[in-house]
A and B are shown apart, each in its own frame.
Chain A
Amino acid sequence: MNKKLFWWVSLILAFFLSTYLLKYLLLPFSFQILEDLERSIISNNNGLLIIAAIKTIIYETLYDLPVFIFSYSFVYFYFQRTNLVLKVFYLFAITLCFYFITLNTYDSAFELITISSMLIVQIILLAIFQNNYDSFFSSLFVLFQLKLAFSCLLLSPWLNQYGVGYSDLVTNIKISASYLSRTSILNFVSFAFFLPFTIGAVFSILLSILYSRRLESEQREKQKEKELLKMQMLAEEAQVWQELHFLIHDLKSPLVTTAGLNSLIEIKVNDPQIKEYCQKIGDSVEAVNDMISEFLHNEKRKVINIEDFINFVRANVIVKNANPQVCFKIAPNLPQININRIRMARALINVIENAIHAVSSESNPLIFIKINSDKDNKVLFTIIDNGSGISQVNLANIWNVGFSTKNKSRGLGMSFVKKVIEDHSGLIKASSILGKGTVIQIVLPGVES
């Protein structure tokens, strides 16, 4: 409510200030017009009469221009979310109030043609440009052109019969022209200026409409390009995973050979120590086989302890360049989780590696990983870093395929993490303060014991 009142008060104050300032500035200009008229009568000079006429057009344009500029601009921006009918109503009310205030300030005559035609122009401009804020200044320029055009009409003695051109200075010009027998010149000057300004204004409107349509079309093209790029990234990601699947699947063949030969060696050899080594080789090959199967088949799940899972993750995190302090805090008596160990580990490693990258330029890099549970038997993984943080604009985009703030990154990491978490009926959310750090929270359902 205070904000609304502020804008209304500002509008009224700005209008009064500009009106009185303009009056103060236009007064000497009006005296100049009278002097030119006097000289034209004394010396019977048409040129001076025309100069006085043109100056009068400028005077008539400027003196009530603030009325239309302020009312139009205010309605344009303040009522931007209102429908057109209501905007027109407010425009009428504000324009008429301001117009009568101006008439009172200047003590001038009511010109019906000026106020009615300017109101119509304002309505048309509002209807055309109401949702196009880039074209506001173009519409303001058109308003000025048309005000100039309608002011030219005031000079025409021929239009007197229709109640046009009864203001003080205009009347002085017409009386002088009548004495000098130059009413035809006034008519000519009036229409000679009116037509080009009006035609110019119409062309300005058309150009603005064309320009805004072109802008809209360009924006639509850009949007389509973005969507196309996103689809391409998704297709690439799918292809990458497919190739990875085939590659990892192909690893099974040498493993089978290794397992088979290992079994033969175990059978043929009598040395108990070698037999033990063979047993260990067999266990490792089986473990690798299991990892490959888990990776290839997302639905393959195992119930494991949090501690075992974290140990597996810690063993696989690669720390390059920086040596951040990574603290783990695991709460006691956590429920077990039913997960695809390889995928979930990959997801968590991805998050930790992002945190390591974020703190790489910090003087005291710190990563804190807390694991606890809640009363609903859910396991919460919270990864906190004191890195550079993520802006709010980028925070909304980190889950999108192809988005990355790192150079040479394909932007597939966090989208993969989100997919894995969601495949496990979990939740992931991120919060960040630019310059302070980031918090990633992962929630997974625990297994009922």
Chain B
Amino acid sequence: MARSKLFLIVIFSAMLIFPNCTNKPQNLTYTLPHLPYPIAKEKALITVAGQGPEGLVVAKICDDLKIGNTFSYKATIDDLKSRNSLLVAVGVSKVGMESIHTDLEQEKQRIVRLVAKASEQRIPIIMVYLGGSNRWDILNQEMLLAVGNYANYIIAISSIKSEDFFRAIAVENSIPFTLVKDMERFHVPLNSAFR
């Protein structure tokens, strides 16, 4: 009886330890809690890719952090004048797009033109994703890929489903990225990008 108990304890412990040994986390070279030095300057232009409320939320967070900014739902190339950085909050909302009489294709074109121009003018681009698992669909992923290719820094509220996706973009473009659990933890990395 004692032997069988010991045997069970050993097996159970092995089951606990072994997975932890084999599933070591990857080398998170590009995962930072925040940037070690700022990469963006005020005044920032904030826009939303997909017309979700994320853009307004980011603008309000910037206001809370006293980061000078201008927010526009439909920011274009012209709005980049006298702006030192660009924040793009990705959040595709079909209802939001319908409210301004646009569709996904037009919205994607606008955003790509904007980030391309910003990149051309060497304006730092910070891509922000606040959707977590709620917005995790093909349309949002397409938009993230489109913006991610031009971004200099990514801050995302991640879930298990999206971690590898952001890691792949960051590795491909050699850019730092920060994954946070929720909105409360979003303030520090955003602040670190400016200060």
A residues neighboring B (CB under 8 Å): 27, 30-31, 33-34, 37-38, 41-42, 107-109, 160, 165-166, 168-172, 174-176, 178-179, 181
Are A175 and B184 CB-contacts (below 8 A) given A34-B95, A169-B95?
no
Q: Which of B61, B99, B137, B182 has the most CB of A within 10 A?
A: B99
Contacts of A181 in B (CB 8 A): 183-184
Stretch of B48-56, B77-85, B118-126, B146-154 contacting A (4+ beta carbons < 8 Å): B48-56
Q: Chain A contact residues: over half helix, strand or loop, or mixed?
A: helix
Are A179 and B96 CB-contacts (below 8 A) given A160-B134, A166-B134, A174-B134?
no
Contact of B57 among A31, A109, A165, A179 (CB under 8 A): A179
B113 interfacial by beta-carbon distance below 8 Å: no
Are A175 and B54 CB-contacts (below 8 A) given A41-B60, A160-B133, A181-B184?
yes
Q: Is the CB of B93 within 8 A of A172?
A: yes
Q: How far is the CA of A318 from the CA of B135 in the complex (A)?
A: 94
Ranked nearest first, the 9 interchain pairs of A and B with the lowest CB-CB distance are A171-B134, A179-B57, A178-B183, A31-B99, A30-B95, A168-B95, A172-B53, A41-B56, A176-B53
B94 interfacial by beta-carbon distance below 8 Å: yes
Other contacts beyond A109-B137, A175-B53, A181-B183: 16, CB < 8 A: A31-B98, A31-B99, A41-B53, A42-B60, A108-B94, A165-B134, A168-B93, A169-B95, A171-B135, A172-B95, A175-B52, A175-B131, A175-B134, A178-B182, A179-B57, A179-B60
Contacts of B53 in A (CB 8 A): 34, 37-38, 41, 172, 175-176
Contact of A175 among B99, B130, B137 (CB under 8 A): B130
Contacts of A38 in B (CB 8 A): 53, 56
Q: Which of A37, A107, A172, A175 has the most CB of B within 10 A?
A: A175
Chain B: interface size category: 20 to 34
Contacts of B137 in A (CB 8 A): 109
Are A171 and B56 CB-contacts (below 8 A) given A31-B99, A34-B96, A179-B183?
no
Q: How far is the CA of A37 from the CA of B60 in the complex (A)?
A: 13
20 contacts between A and B (CB under 8 A): A31-B99, A34-B53, A34-B96, A34-B99, A38-B53, A41-B53, A108-B94, A109-B137, A170-B134, A171-B52, A171-B135, A172-B95, A174-B134, A175-B53, A175-B54, A175-B57, A175-B91, A175-B130, A178-B183, A179-B60
Distance in Å: Cβ of B125 to nearest Cβ of chain A: 21
Q: Which of B105-137 contact A (CB under 8 A)?
A: 130-135, 137
Distance in Å: Cβ of B169 to nearest Cβ of chain A: 21
Contacts of A30 in B (CB 8 A): 95, 98-99
Q: Which of B52, B91, B95, B184 has the most CB of A within 10 A?
A: B95
Q: Which of B36-57 contact A (CB under 8 A)?
A: 52-54, 56-57
Q: Which of B53, B131, B133 has the most CB of A within 10 A?
A: B53
Q: Which of B91, B134, B137 has the most CB of A within 10 A?
A: B134
Contacts of B56 in A (CB 8 A): 38, 41-42
Distance in Å: Cβ of A167 to nearest Cβ of chain B: 9
Write the chain B residue with the least CB distance to A32. Answer: B99
Contacts of B183 in A (CB 8 A): 178-179, 181
Q: Is the CB of B98 within 8 A of A172?
A: no
Q: Which of B66-100 contact A (CB under 8 A)?
A: 91, 93-96, 98-99
Contacts of A165 in B (CB 8 A): 134
Contacts of A171 in B (CB 8 A): 52, 93, 131, 134-135
Q: How far is the CA of A86 from the CA of B32 in the complex (A)?
A: 59
Q: How far is the CA of A109 from the CA of B133 in the complex (A)?
A: 13
Contacts of B182 in A (CB 8 A): 178
Q: Is the CB of B61 within 8 A of A107?
A: no
Distance in Å: Cβ of A154 to nearest Cβ of chain B: 11
Q: Which of A34, A41, A166, A169 has the most CB of B within 10 A?
A: A34
Q: How far is the CA of A30 from the CA of B94 in the complex (A)?
A: 11
Write the chain B residue with the least CB distance to A163. Answer: B133
Contacts of B184 in A (CB 8 A): 181
Write the chain B residue with the least CB distance to A170. Answer: B134
Contacts of B130 in A (CB 8 A): 175, 178-179
Write the chain B residue with the least CB distance to A176. Answer: B53
Distance in Å: Cβ of A146 to nearest Cβ of chain B: 24
Write the chain A residue with the least CB distance to B137. Answer: A109
Distance in Å: Cβ of A250 to nearest Cβ of chain B: 97
Q: How far is the CA of A358 from the CA of B168 in the complex (A)?
A: 97
Distance in Å: Cβ of A95 to nearest Cβ of chain B: 24
Distance in Å: Cβ of B96 to nearest Cβ of chain A: 6
Q: Is the CB of A172 within 8 A of B57?
A: no
Q: How far is the CA of A108 from the CA of B95 in the complex (A)?
A: 10
Contact of A27 among B61, B93, B98, B135 (CB under 8 A): B98
Distance in Å: Cβ of A36 to nearest Cβ of chain B: 11
Q: Is the CB of B91 within 8 A of A168?
A: no
Distance in Å: Cβ of A258 to nearest Cβ of chain B: 108
Contacts of A108 in B (CB 8 A): 94
Q: How far is the CA of A107 from the CA of B95 in the complex (A)?
A: 10
Q: How far is the CA of A193 from the CA of B60 in the complex (A)?
A: 30
Q: Is the CB of A107 within 8 A of B93?
A: no
Write the chain B residue with the least CB distance to A106. Answer: B94
Distance in Å: Cβ of B28 to nearest Cβ of chain A: 24
Contacts of B96 in A (CB 8 A): 34, 172
Q: How far is the CA of A38 from the CA of B52 in the complex (A)?
A: 10
Write the chain A residue with the least CB distance to B134. Answer: A171
Q: How far is the CA of A418 from the CA of B194 in the complex (A)?
A: 107
Q: How far is the CA of A109 from the CA of B93 in the complex (A)?
A: 11
Distance in Å: Cβ of A182 to nearest Cβ of chain B: 11
Q: How far is the CA of A330 from the CA of B52 in the complex (A)?
A: 97
Contacts of B98 in A (CB 8 A): 27, 30-31
Q: How far is the CA of A33 from the CA of B95 in the complex (A)?
A: 10
Write the chain B residue with the least CB distance to A108. Answer: B94
Q: How far is the CA of A107 from the CA of B182 in the complex (A)?
A: 28
Q: How far is the CA of A42 from the CA of B143 in the complex (A)?
A: 25
